[in-house]
Amino acid sequence: MSQKPEQCLEEWIDREALAEAMIPLIGQLYRNNNVVTSIYGRGLVNRSVISILKAHRFARQIDNVELSVQDTYPLVKALSELELGAASIDLARLSLKFKAEGAGRDLKDFLRSELSAVVGKQGVEQRKGKDVVLYGFGRIGRLLARILIEHQGSGDGLRLRAIVVRKGADNDLVKRASLLRRDSVHGSFDGTITVDEANSTLCANGTLIKVIYSNDPTTVDYTQYGIQDAIVVDNTGKWRDAEGLGQHLKCKGVSRVVLTAPGKGSLKNIVHGINHDTITAEDTIVTAASCTTNAIVPILKAVNDKYGIVNGHVETVHSYTNDQNLIDNFHKGDRRGRSAALNMVITETGAAKAVAKALPELAGKLTGNAIRVPTPNVSMAILNLNLENATSKDEINEYLREMALHSPLHKQIDFVNSPEVVSSDFVGSRHAGVVDAGATIVSDNRVVLYVWYDNEFGYSCQVVRVLEEMAGVNPPAFPA
């Protein structure tokens, strides 16, 4: 029977009312308990009614059915009454688990059992916050700032304390604030930013950020700004080896360094979700590899674990970057001197070789190349793989859907099955890579996978995960 207009509107109003009722509960869990709630990686903190309902609607891409707010509201209400300690809770996965395993059980009893490690721990096990300094404030630096500000909670996680830049103009601070406030790709900053030129600070949603001007990383004494034992995130790409990045460690107040680019020499290239567990207390410098390496390595691992990869080729269709010229001009790199906005530009990528640093079992098995295209953000990796074991399109897609849904790589791998998605649909994706199931090609043991990735924001999320790992401020994730 077809739905009547009155019925459709009434159901929508009911869903809106439940989403509205969830908002203060989600906020209280975040501010009072340091509990971050999400739906398949899509955060719910500080979100609008429509954003929350859209996150529920998105669940159909994973489960083939829309997640009901009638199911999640009771979960959030019950969670708010359990005096939880710090945690990361995926409501969609928790709801599925309750439906599968909670038959006949009271919801609160199920939650007490499932979250026993943090139930009643509110204020008991306080995490110690970690100071973070952003050295460089370009595309990645500003997105890292947005994410760190968004994650500030009650201040016992990663704490953005300062950014270091070279002074570019008399009104430099105002211009830096404006670039943080407005972004042509990622939209407006979600909050308020106050500029204090007299004290050279920005206050963004309650996060006070000191802006330090310096041309030399060895000259900054961070302790004079109250910064101690900080992790410096080098976003400049100027130094990529231990000697160059080690200059930061000579500064007072700095204990560790993370590079937002592939490192050289013996530096560990970390892809969170794959080899982050290799970071030790002795690792004072690590790198977060590249955006492409982060996008492809989790999916390559998933495929290799099940089917075995004999060999393959990675072709990256990559948005243009600041390294290219807007109009034709001299460039030391081949072809990169031609206008980025007008041309597809064939260039090289080190991502295929870099895979071996995170997945040694694939060393020497992959080749790679890249084509820069006239879009400002969101890229695609095409994985052309020869497998040890044959499969089918439906089988490998279902396997990768399960990996996106249930595996330890669910924060890295996302999955979409729509014939209409295009690159701009993935702006703001927090996953390292998104499998486009509709584009998958399979012929016996030969597979071609298409992987979208937000090479700016998705990569920045991976960098923050590395920072949380180094700082030891990762809250336990539920359901297990």
pLDDT of residue 125: 60
pLDDT of residue 7: 87
Structural domain contains residue 330:
yes
- 34-81 pLDDT, tens digit per residue, is 899 999 878 899 899 999 999 998 877 666 677 899 999 999 999 999
108 shares its domain with 135: no
Active site residue 203: no
Structural domain contains residue 408:
yes
Structural domain contains residue 137:
yes
Residue 131 · residue 159 · CB < 8 Å: yes
- 371-411 pLDDT, tens digit per residue, is 999 999 999 999 999 999 999 999 999 999 999 988 999 99
- 213-259 pLDDT, tens digit per residue, is 999 989 999 999 999 999 999 999 899 999 999 999 999 999 999 99
Amino acid at 51: S
Q: Looking at the predicted structure, is the pLDDT value of residue 123 above 80?
A: no
Amino acid at 9: L
Q: Domain range for residue 346? A: 290-455
Structural domain contains residue 271:
no
pLDDT of residue 176: 96
- 263-295 pLDDT, tens digit per residue, is 998 899 999 999 999 999 999 999 999 999 999
Please enumerate in sequence order all residues whose Cβ is within 8 A of that of 413, keeping only pairs 6 or more positions apart, or say none: 298, 299, 302, 400, 403, 404, 407, 431, 432, 433, 434, 435
- The CATH number for 242's domain is 3.40.50.720
Which residue among the candidates 8, 203, 251, 291 is catalytic per the annotation?
A: 291
pLDDT of residue 103: 74
Residue 366 · residue 303 · CB < 8 Å: no
> Is the alpha carbon torsion for 33, 36, 39, 43 positive or negative?
positive
Structural domain contains residue 281:
no
Residue 459 · residue 432 · CB < 8 Å: yes
- Spatial distance between the Cα atoms of 276 and 268, rounded to a whole number of angstroms: 10
345 shares its domain with 447: yes
Structural domain contains residue 461:
no
Q: What is the mean pLDDT of residues 133-162?
A: 91
